[in-house]
Amino acid sequence: MTDTHANDAAPSAPRKPRLRTWSAFGDIRKRPSEYEIVTHGTNWTLREGRKSPLEGNPSSPGNLWISTYRDRSPLQAEDWHGFRDPDSHTYRSYVMLQDEQETRVNGLLEQYAAAGADAALSPRWRRTLSQAYTPVRYLLHGSQQVEAYLGYIAPSSYITNAAALSAADLLRRVTQISYRTRELQLTDPDQGFATGERRVWEESAAWQPARKAIELALIAYDWGEAFTALNLVLLPTLDDVLLRQFGELARDNGDELTWLLTAYLRKDAERRARWSGALARYALAQRPENAEVLGKWVRKWSPRADAAADGLSTLLETLPEHGREAASVAAEAREARVSFLGDLGLGTAVSAG
């Protein structure tokens, strides 16, 4: 490289060693992965030495919002940029993964449609789907909003990206349920598919605790609370009901397609649980006081999640021909969350709730 600097005549300082990667990584031995190269330090509102997140008046609404709900959150760490998504997803790896998944799902949808599977389901099971399966898109859309918000307000681009991909996963799930809703409507136009779900969601007693939980999660603006409410408490509980247990229930009632589709969607839920669990662990390792911060939110949100699971459990007991006992549905959902949180070292917080 030619260097034509005017003051080169002066005795120059020893040249810095050649960079191998972003200087932002500091003095590291190991070359960072592609995931790290494209994820590290990409949100400039988190730059070191900032006076306020955004340029412009520090008391502008945008600045006040971010300072309040992100920078002054009770959940604090020395350095959030040390957090890594255990799956190391980049945009590229994500679209590759999900395109493969969608191709498989499309194969299933085609096969079962060709076999006329929906017409072969019992009317009672189709009614179960109209009450317990297709109305879930409202809950998922609300979750998608909270997940997107978490991405906006998160204190590290590593968290933002993971949340953004999870928001996309939730849109995927809404999309798939919508597709199934139309198929079921075509087969059974009188069941209220595509037309009746909003009323079920807004009025059915069984859905109200879930609706209440997600409405409250939408206004949990502190980033740490939004994360805890949705990713550590509500979704781990409700996914157990709506994906695992409902999938098994579908199989028990002769609906293989729903069973298989929920199994595919569980991969997204598991991936979200992996990074969320890793983030909770990271927070605890960074600062012991975070145990109490997270614990407080876990105690606040767990009863809401349990109430939501309780409400839904009645549908799983009463609607299908081969139902599951409501109390055990709710207990298993609760247990799924308790064990997830227990593995993270948030067990005591849970038992106190």
Partner 1 sequence: MTLLKREEWQGIVRDVDWTFGYVDDDAVYPDWQSGTGKIPREAWSKWEESYKVSYPDYVATQREKESSAYAVKAALQRSRTFETLDEGWKSATKMHFGGVSLVEYAGLLGELKMARFGLSPAWRNMAVFGALDEMRHAQITLFFGHEFVAKDPQYDWSQKAFHTNDWASISLRTLFDGMVIGPDVVDLAIQLPMTFETGFTNLQFVALSSDALEAGDINFANMISSIQTDEARHAQQGGPTLELLVEHDPVRAQWTIDKYFWFSARAFAALTGPVMDYYTPVEHRRQSYREFMEEWIIDQFVRTLQDYGLRRPWYWDEFMQGLDTWHHSLHLGFWNYRPTIWWKPAGGVDAESREWLREKYPDWDKFYLDKWTVIAENINAGNIEATLPETLPWLCSMCHLPNINPVYGRDGKWKTRNYPLKHNGTTYYFCTKGCRQIWWEDRDAVNHATVVDRFLAGEIQPMDLPGVLGWMGLTPEVMGDDAHGYAWAKSFADPRATGSGLLVGAR
User: By CB under 8 A, what part of segment 109-128 binds partner 1?
Assistant: 109-110, 113-114
Q: Does 329 bind partner 1 (CB under 8 A)?
A: no
Q: Does 331 bind partner 1 (CB under 8 A)?
A: no
Read off the amino acid at residue 195.
T
Rounded Cα distance, 291 and 58, in Å? 31
For 188-329, list the strands marked E by DSSP: none
State which residue, 252 or 256, has the beta carbon closest to partner 1: 256
Which span sits near partner 1 by CB under 8 A: 52-60, 74-82, 228-236, 261-269? 52-60
State which residue, 2 or 78, has the beta carbon closest to partner 1: 2
Least Å distance between CB 269 and partner 1? 16
Torsion-angle region of 2 (φ positive above 0: left; ψ -120 to 50: alpha; else: beta): beta
Rounded Cα distance, 10 and 155, in Å? 43
Rounded Cα distance, 103 and 252, in Å? 26
State which residue, 207 or 282, has the beta carbon closest to partner 1: 207
Helix (H) or strand (E) run with residue 65 in it: helix 61-66
Least Å distance between CB 21 and partner 1? 6
According to CB under 8 A, which one of 57, 122, 318, 351 is a site residue for partner 1? 57
- Residues numbered 136-195 forming contacts with partner 1, rule: CB under 8 A: 137-138, 141, 144-146, 148-149, 151-152, 157, 160-161, 163-165, 167-168, 171-172, 174-175, 178-179, 181-183, 194
- Residues numbered 244-273 forming contacts with partner 1, rule: CB under 8 A: none
DSSP classification of residue 53: S
According to CB under 8 A, which one of 26, 30, 205, 219 is a site residue for partner 1? 219
Q: What are phi and psi of 340, to 5 degrees?
A: -60, -50
Cα distances (angstroms) measured from residue 287 to each of 76, 117, 167, 226: 7, 53, 28, 19
Least Å distance between CB 157 and partner 1? 7
Least Å distance between CB 19 and partner 1? 5
Rounded Cα distance, 283 and 154, in Å? 13
Taking the CA of residue 183 as centre, how many other CA atoms within 13 Å lie in the half-sphere pointing to its CB? 22
11-50 mask for partner 1 (x: CB under 8 A)? -xx-xx-xxxxxxx---------x--xxxxxxxxx-xxx-
Q: If binding means CB under 8 A, how many residues of this protein chain bind partner 1?
A: 94
Burial of 99 (0-12, 13-18, 19+ CB in 10 A): exposed
Residue 33, SS3 per DSSP: coil
Alpha-carbon torsion angle 103, 108, 114, 119, nearest 10: -140
60-99 mask for partner 1 (x: CB under 8 A)? xxxx-x------------------------xxx-xxx-xx
DSSP classification of residue 24: G
Rounded Cα distance, 129 and 8, in Å? 76
Q: Does 102 bind partner 1 (CB under 8 A)?
A: yes
State which residue, 93 or 286, has the beta carbon closest to partner 1: 93
State which residue, 152 or 259, has the beta carbon closest to partner 1: 152
